[in-house]
A and B are shown apart, each in its own frame.
Chain A
Amino acid sequence: MLPKLKVKNLSCSRADNLLFHDLNFEVVAGKNIEIIGSNGSGKTTLLRILLGLINIGEGKLEWLDNEENYNDYRSIDCFYQGHSLGIKNLLSAHENLSLSSYSFGASEEKIAYALDRVGIKNHLSFTSELSVGQKKRISIARWLLKDFGIYFIDEPFSALDDQATSLIIEIIEELNAKGASFVITGHRASDVISNQIFLDHEV
Chain B
Amino acid sequence: MKSDIYNWFFLILKRDLLIAFRRSSTYITPLIFFLIVVSFFPLALSPDQDFLRSLAPGVIWIAALLSSLLAVETIFSEDFKDGTLDEFFVTNEPSFVLVFAKVLCHWLITGLPILLASAISSIILYLPASSFLPMICSLILGTFFMSLLGAMGAALSLGRSAILSSIIVLPFSIPTLLMGTAVVSSAINNQDYSGFLLIMGAMLAIGIPGLCLLTVEAILLNYE
Contacts and interface: CB of A to CB of B under 8 A. Distances in A.
Interface of A: 48, 51, 53-55, 73-74, 77-88, 90-91, 95, 99-105
Contact of B84 (A51, A55, A86, A90): A86
Contact of B86 (A80, A88, A103): A80
B190 interface: no
Give the one of B11, B14, B15, B23 with max A CB within 10 A.
B15
Contact of A53 (B14, B86, B92): B86
B191 interface: no
B72 to A, nearest CB: 19
A196 B23 CA distance: 44
B93 interface: yes
Given A99-B14, A104-B1, A105-B1, A85 B82 contact: yes
B48 interface: no
Nearest to B86: A82
B224 interface: yes
Contact of B19 (A54, A55, A77, A90): A90
B18 A91 contact: yes
Given A99-B18, A104-B8, A78 B81 contact: no
A101 B7 CA distance: 11
Interface of B: 1, 3, 7-8, 11-12, 14-15, 18-19, 22-23, 81-84, 86-93, 220, 223-224
A100 B87 contact: yes
A148 to B, nearest CB: 10
Given A83-B83, A85-B82, A101-B84, A53 B19 contact: no
Contacts, number: 70
A142 to B, nearest CB: 9
A120 to B, nearest CB: 18
A101 B81 CA distance: 16
B223 A54 contact: yes
A86 B223 contact: no
A199 to B, nearest CB: 18
Given A48-B223, A104-B3, A53 B90 contact: yes
A182 to B, nearest CB: 15
Contacts of B15: 88, 91, 95, 99
Nearest to A86: B83
Contact of B90 (A51, A54, A88, A91): A51
A90 B90 contact: no
A125 B18 CA distance: 15
22 contacts: A53-B220, A54-B223, A74-B92, A77-B92, A81-B87, A82-B83, A82-B86, A84-B81, A85-B82, A86-B84, A87-B82, A88-B15, A90-B22, A90-B23, A95-B18, A100-B87, A101-B84, A101-B93, A102-B87, A103-B11, A104-B3, A104-B11
